[in-house]
Amino acid sequence: MTHSDLSDVQIRVRALESALVAGGHVDPAALDALVETYEHQVGPHNGARVVARAWVDPGYRERLLADATPAIAELGIRGRQGEHMVAVENTPDVHNLVVCTLCSCYPWSVLGLPPVWYKSAPYRSRAVADPRGVLTDFGVTLGADVSVRVWDSTAEVRYLVIPQRPADSEGMTEDELAARVTRDSMIGVGTL
C-alpha cells in the first residue's frame, strides 16, 4: 500500500505508531503480536465456526447448549472474556438478544472487539425496555408470535446467540456456513 492509498485515519495511526516506537513507549514486536492476535486469533470468525459446527453436528450442538465454555474450547477457542459462556438458540418461536446493562461484558475471544453501539447507553437501556424497537432499528422484523428473550451479560456469564440456520444452506460445507454467520446475528441484532 503506498502512502497515497492510505486514508487520513491510517496516516494518523502510522504517525502515532512511529512516534510511540521512536520514543521507546511501544515495542514494535509487541504491537505486531497484538495486531496478529486480533486479526487471526480472536474475532467473530471464531463464533461463526462455533455456530457452523452446531448447525452440522447435532452432538456438538447439544454440548454447546448444555455447557458452552468447554464446547467452544473443543474448537481451540479460549481466552480472556470467553469464560463462562452460555449459548442460546434462536428458533421459529424465540429470538434471543444479548446486552450488558451495567457496562460492556462481551465474549472477546468468540466475537472479537465489541462494537461501539454495544457499549452505548441507548442500546443498553433500550435493549431491555424496547427489544423489538432495537431489533427494528437493526432491520430485524419479527412476527408478533415470536417471543424475544433478552440476556444480560455480566462478568460471570457471557452469551452467544446461535442464529437459525438459513433454509437455503443444505449441502453447504462447514466453512461455507461459517462465512454466512455475522457478528450481529451472534449478538441477536441480526438474523444473518
Query: What 3-state class would DSSP assign to 111?
Result: helix
**How many alpha carbons lie under 13 Å from residue 70 in its C-beta half-sphere?**
4
Residue 37 has pLDDT above 80, yes or no: no
pLDDT for residue 43: 81
Say which residue, 55 or 4, is predicted with more confidence. Answer: 55
> How confident is the model over 126-147, as pLDDT tens digits?
999 999 999 999 999 999 999 9
* 55 contact partners, CB below 8 Å, separation of at least 6: 61, 165, 169, 177
The verdict on whether 100 is a catalytic residue reads yes
| Cα atoms in the 13 Å half-sphere on the side-chain side of 95 | 24
Could you tell me if 135 and 95 are in contact, meaning their C-beta atoms sit under 8 angstroms apart?
Answer: yes
**Alpha carbons 18 and 137: distance in angstroms, whole number:** 40
Instruction: Say whether 104 is catalytic.
Output: yes
Q: Indicate the annotated binding residues for Fe(3+).
A: 100, 103-105
Round the average pLDDT of the chain to a whole number and report it.
Answer: 90
Residue 80: the pLDDT is 61
pLDDT tops 90 at residue 39: no
- Out of 18, 103, 125, 147, pick the active-site residue: 103
Q: Which domains does the chain have, with CATH numbers?
A: 7-40 (no CATH), 44-187 (3.90.330.10)
Residue percentage of the chain with pLDDT more than 90: 65
Check pLDDT > 70 for residue 20.
Answer: yes
Q: Name the residue with higher pLDDT: 9 or 111.
A: 111
Catalytic residue among 4, 7, 100, 153: 100
pLDDT of residue 84: 87
**What average pLDDT does this structure show over 90-115?**
91
Q: Which of residues 39 and 6 earns the better pLDDT score? A: 6
- The x, y and z cell numbers of residue 190, run together, are 441480526
Catalytic annotation present for 103: yes
pLDDT beyond 70 at 116: yes
Q: Which residue has the cell 512516534?
A: 19
> Is the predicted pLDDT of residue 161 greater than 70, yes or no?
yes
| Binding site listing | 100, 103-105
Q: How confident is the model at residue 189 (pLDDT cuts 50, 70, 90)?
A: very high
> pTM here?
0.82
Whether 109 is catalytic: no
Q: Is it the case that residue 82 has pLDDT exceeding 60?
A: no
Comparing 161 with 27, the larger pLDDT belongs to 161
